Chain A
Amino acid sequence: GAVVSQHPSRVICKSGTSVKIECRSLDFQATTMFWYRQFPKQSLMLMATSNEGSKATYEQGVEKDKFLINHASLTLSTLTVTSAHPEDSSFYICSARTSKSDTQYFGPGTRLTVL
């Protein structure tokens, strides 16, 4: 149980385009989903927290208009990187938790490369 998937696993796009990444909880309802970013040889950095049906809460320094997060259902959250630039190239990881658990379950991550 507690499986989280992400799609796509890898995406390459041109500078200036927008990219959408999906995060799904496959066998549980995720009341809260988290989006992280991981640079090479660095730790995971929390970008934002999203609760189903409400606006995401962004961490300091994360641009809300650039990283659009939607958590429209209890099993799906999306992260859209708008007008992507090469510096947005990174590994994006989502996690999810239920209202009854203090544990986050992580997705496999999405490697974004912006040319």
Chain B
Amino acid sequence: AQSVSQHNHHVILSEAASLELGCNYSYGGTVNLFWYVQYPGQHLQLLLKYFSGDPLVKGIKGFEAEFIKSKFSFNLRKPSVQWSDTAEYFCAVDGSGGSNYKLTFGKGTLLTVNP
């Protein structure tokens, strides 16, 4: 079955630490990849997305993600986190490559940044 795995359930960092959240998927064909963020009490917001081209994509708020096709991975990174980055982060995959736009989500990673 198609699936999306996020390795870390809860990550706790201090401000200015570097962040990397893992995401792996199990689709064999063309995929569109997304990272969404959900701040406390707010709705899901798009951080960044990859459809094609440069496998290193940059999103909002200093986040970036790298698509490594051979590893079926799309890890999210930020060189220096801030307290305001405390949120839940979801990796999502459109396994249809854009033909039906259905998203499969990972279970999410809760990021807590301590001041």
CA distance in complex: A64, B42 (Å):
29
Contact mask B2-21 → A, CB, 8 Å, 1/0? 00100000000000000000
Contact B105 A34 (CB under 8 A): no
Contact B101 A32 (CB under 8 A): yes
Q: Which DSSP category, helix, strand, loop or mixed, fits chain A's interface? A: strand
- How many pairs of residues, A versus B, come closer than 8 Å at their CB atoms? 48
Q: Tally B residues with Cβ within 8 Å of A.
A: 23
Contact mask A91-115 → B, CB, 8 Å, 1/0? 0010101000011111111000000
Q: Tell yes or no: A54 within 8 A of B by CB.
A: no
CB-CB < 8 A to A107: which residues of B?
43
CB-CB < 8 A to B106: which residues of A?
43
Contact B98 A102 (CB under 8 A): yes
Question: Given A102-B94, A109-B43, are A46 and B101 also a contact pair (CB < 8 Å)?
Answer: no
